[in-house]
């Protein structure tokens, strides 16, 4: 059933409604950590790599012995990882064989507007009714409607990838339906690399691990529980949506596996952390079995390497944020175990994953004191304008929802027009916790409530966590492309409940 997280009252950092799984859950740290396979290009021409991805339904064994239906990219959750070199463009043809329209967005990609996955730029399935209203919540069902006139089974997306190397992710972005689509499995990784980063000597190969962290809940039949997909969770008219605050699960998955364990050696490891959860915030710490906390040495943010490493004892990670961190297992005795824990969790959601150190090795990796020298350093005096946006609950067409600047998302309205090349300061003000994401640009955090940014705000970001009651100032330069982009809350349920706005670059 549905229980409001008790954590909500005690810890304002946790926003959401926690669903309880109706199945026995496996003990932690038993399932081996999977690493998503790298997708091989289908071909290359004129310096561009070409990929094909089929979006399809499948079932997978996520909980041991249980089959779970999923919506996937290429049959796996997470989808396959695309590995690219900086400046080498990629085209991806997405084929939609799912029962619903989809939209693909490369989160953090510097992409022309026509390939950025605007929420109404649909890749339609074969049969889809004209009236999308009739399809409300059709998330769960195959629709066959003879009136369907438009068929668009596939779409090409072009990504120049002329940007700082980093971990990006691709995910569904359909208007009003992003949260259930990601929940059902539509998310994958895209890594950009370059020679300068390769030459730093950071941990690599088997010691570089992408960690896509998500939470999910499971129904008795093995399907993923989600409020709009489960009639027993649906509330009467006039009552707040059960998923207004955001949907939380009681099972923590890393790369699609519940509380996994990774067997490895006594070396430094580079963990490329992505919080791909719909609404859950984490505060990660690495703790040995003797209770010692290992430092998490942050080397990169959403948009690539920091100027210099920043050491954390605990690292807050909001939905859609990426943190590139190095943990040092050298000197740990063989046989020891290091747990990655979530300090914001309670009970089972405190555990994330574990490393089991089973082999001694020598390690010649390093974390150099200077990581990058190309971070933009816009000064407040460069800004052409300072704008202010509130992120608050409010009334939308459908009832209660979430508003930016007092308005619910409307694809027909232009909310902000900025001039190509301008530097701007945006002041973002929150009622409750909102992880705010800007498409196209990276930005730097200038201040929080008038005070200097926090240690984990370092570097170039594309998503910033506004904490309850906070005003956060960011600075960026709107360059790259003209056209229509978005900014929105990346609590996926807030996003679906209208917390999104249009950004026009002219
Ligand atoms: Cu990760 Cu507009 O999205
Ligand atoms: Cu929000």
Q: Name the fold adopted by 380-505.
A: Immunoglobulin-like (2.60.40)
What distance in Å separates the CA atoms of residue 333 and residue 470, rounded to the nearest whole number? 43
Which of the following CATH numbers is that of domain 205-359: 3.40.50.150, 2.60.40.420, 3.10.450.50, 2.60.40.180?
A: 2.60.40.420
Report the separation in Å between the CA atom of 472 and the middle of ligand 2, taken as the mean of its atom positions. 14
- What is residue 210's predicted lDDT score, i.e. its pLDDT? 98
For ligand 1, atom 3, name the residue with the nearest CA.
107
The predicted-structure confidence for 164-180, as pLDDT tens digits, reads as follows 999 999 999 999 999 99
Closest atom of ligand 1 to 495 CA is 2
Our answer on whether the CB atom of 270 is closer than 6 Å to any ligand 1 atom is no
Our answer on whether the CB atom of 161 is closer than 6 Å to any ligand 1 atom is no
Residue (of 396, 394, 476, 475) closest to 440 by Cα position: 476
Contact call for residues 351 and 360 (beta carbons, < 8 A): no
The predicted-structure confidence for 25-62, as pLDDT tens digits, reads as follows 999 999 999 999 999 999 999 999 999 999 999 999 99
Contact call for residues 327 and 294 (beta carbons, < 8 A): yes
Q: Can you tell me the ipTM of this complex?
A: 0.99
Report the separation in Å between the CA atom of 448 and the middle of ligand 1, taken as the mean of its atom positions. 23
Residue (of 268, 274, 300, 273) closest to 202 by Cα position: 268
Our answer on whether the CB atom of 190 is closer than 6 Å to any ligand 1 atom is no
Dihedral (CA of 56, 321, 311, 290) sign? negative
Our answer on whether the CB atom of 171 is closer than 6 Å to any ligand 1 atom is yes
Find residue 150's DSSP bridge partners: none
Our answer on whether the CB atom of 104 is closer than 6 Å to any ligand 1 atom is no
Our answer on whether the CB atom of 503 is closer than 6 Å to any ligand 1 atom is no
What distance in Å separates the CA atoms of residue 471 and residue 449, rounded to the nearest whole number? 5
- What is residue 8's predicted lDDT score, i.e. its pLDDT? 33
Query: Which helix (DSSP H) or strand (DSSP E) does residue 44 occupy?
Result: strand 43-45
Report the separation in Å between the CA atom of 439 and the middle of ligand 1, taken as the mean of its atom positions. 7
Find residue 475's DSSP bridge partners: 425, 444
Closest atom of ligand 1 to 107 CA is 1
The fourth-level CATH superfamily of domain 2-195 is Cupredoxins -  blue copper proteins (2.60.40.420)
- What is residue 352's predicted lDDT score, i.e. its pLDDT? 98
- What is residue 365's predicted lDDT score, i.e. its pLDDT? 98
Closest atom of ligand 1 to 117 CA is 2
- What is residue 143's predicted lDDT score, i.e. its pLDDT? 34
Domains 205-359 and 380-505 are alike in CATH topology: yes
Kindly list the protein residues that place their beta carbon closer than 5 angstroms to ligand 2, a single-atom ion. 434, 489, 491, 494
- Cα 15 to Cα 5, 8, 10, 262, 469, distances in angstroms: 9, 6, 11, 29, 13
Contacts of 165 (CB under 8 A, 6+ apart): 86, 191, 192, 193, 194, 196, 197, 304, 305
Our answer on whether the CB atom of 322 is closer than 6 Å to any ligand 1 atom is no
- What is residue 15's predicted lDDT score, i.e. its pLDDT? 62
Our answer on whether the CB atom of 320 is closer than 6 Å to any ligand 1 atom is yes
pTM: 0.92
What distance in Å separates the CA atoms of residue 73 and residue 140, rounded to the nearest whole number? 17
Domain map (residue ranges) of the chain: 2-195, 205-359, 380-505
Report the separation in Å between the CA atom of 380 and the middle of ligand 2, taken as the mean of its atom positions. 26
For ligand 1, atom 1, name the residue with the nearest CA.
107
Q: Which ligand is nearest to the CA of 495?
A: 2
**What are the φ and ψ backbone dihedral angles of 86, each rounded to 5 degrees?**
-55, 130
Our answer on whether the CB atom of 448 is closer than 6 Å to any ligand 1 atom is no
Question: Average pLDDT for consecutive 10-residue bins of the chain (506 residues)?
Answer: 32 65 97 98 96 97 98 98 98 95 97 97 76 42 37 87 98 95 98 98 98 97 82 46 81 98 98 98 97 98 98 98 98 97 96 98 97 97 98 84 95 97 98 97 98 98 97 98 98 94 98
What distance in Å separates the CA atoms of residue 78 and residue 91, rounded to the nearest whole number? 20
- What is residue 492's predicted lDDT score, i.e. its pLDDT? 96
Residue (of 434, 439, 459) closest to 322 by Cα position: 459
| Maximal CA-CA distance, the chain | 67
| H-assigned helices in 145-207 | 178-183, 195-198
In 302-408, the DSSP E strands lie at 304-312, 315-317, 322-328, 337-342, 351-359, 385-396, 399-404
- Report residue 41 as tokens: 């290009």
């Amino acid at each position: 059933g549905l229980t409001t997280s008790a954590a909500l009252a005690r810890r304002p950092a946790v926003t959401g409604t926690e669903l309880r799984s109706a199945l026995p859950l496996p003990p932690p740290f038993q399932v081996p950590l999977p690493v998503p396979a790298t997708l091989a290009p289908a071909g290359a021409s004129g310096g561009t790599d070409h990929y094909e991805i089929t979006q399809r339904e499948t079932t997978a064994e996520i909980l041991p012995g249980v089959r779970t239906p999923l919506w996937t990219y290429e049959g796996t959750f997470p989808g396959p990882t695309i590995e690219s070199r900086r400046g080498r463009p990629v085209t991806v043809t997405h084929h939609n064989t799912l029962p619903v329209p989809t939209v693909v967005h490369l989160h953090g990609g510097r992409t022309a507007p026509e390939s950025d996955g605007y929420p109404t730029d649909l890749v339609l399935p074969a049969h889809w009714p004209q009236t999308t209203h009739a399809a409300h919540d059709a998330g769960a069902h195959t629709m066959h409607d003879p009136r369907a006139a438009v068929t668009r089974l596939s779409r090409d997306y072009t990504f120049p990838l002329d940007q700082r190397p980093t971990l990006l992710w691709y995910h569904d972005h359909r208007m009003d339906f992003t949260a259930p689509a990601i929940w059902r499995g539509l998310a994958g990784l895209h890594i950009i690399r370059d020679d300068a980063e390769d030459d730093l000597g950071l941990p690599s190969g088997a010691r570089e691990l992408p960690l896509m962290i998500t939470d999910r809940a499971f129904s008795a039949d093995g399907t993923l529980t989600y409020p709009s997909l489960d009639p027993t969770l649906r509330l009467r008219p006039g009552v707040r949506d059960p998923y207004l605050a955001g949907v939380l699960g009681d099972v923590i998955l890393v790369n699609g596996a519940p509380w996994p364990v990774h067997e490895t050696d006594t070396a430094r490891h580079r963990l490329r952390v992505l919080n791909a959860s719909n609404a859950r915030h984490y505060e990660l710490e690495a703790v040995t079995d003797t209770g010692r906390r290992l430092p998490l040495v942050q080397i990169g943010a959403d948009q690539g390497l920091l100027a210099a490493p920043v050491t954390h004892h605990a690292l807050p990670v909001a939905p859609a944020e990426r943190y590139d961190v190095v943990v040092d297992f050298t000197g740990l005795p063989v046989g020891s175990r290091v747990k990655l824990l979530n300090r914001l969790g309670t009970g089972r959601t405190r555990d994330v994953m574990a490393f089991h150190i089973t082999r001694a090795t020598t390690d010649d990796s390093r974390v150099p004191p200077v990581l990058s020298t190309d971070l933009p350093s816009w000064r407040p005096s460069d800004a052409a304008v300072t704008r202010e946006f509130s992120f608050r609950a409010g009334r939308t067409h459908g009832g209660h929802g979430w508003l930016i600047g007092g308005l619910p998302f409307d694809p027909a309205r232009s909310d902000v027009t900025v001039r190509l090349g301008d530097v701007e300061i945006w002041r973002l003000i929150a009622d409750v916790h909102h992880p705010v994401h800007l498409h196209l640009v990276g930005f730097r955090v200038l201040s929080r409530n008038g005070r200097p940014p926090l240690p984990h705000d370092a570097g170039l970001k594309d998503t910033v966590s506004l904490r309850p009651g906070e005003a956060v100032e960011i600075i960026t330069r709107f360059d790259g492309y003209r056209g229509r982009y978005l900014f929105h809350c990346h609590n996926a349920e807030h996003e679906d409940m209208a917390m999104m706005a249009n950004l026009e670059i002219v």
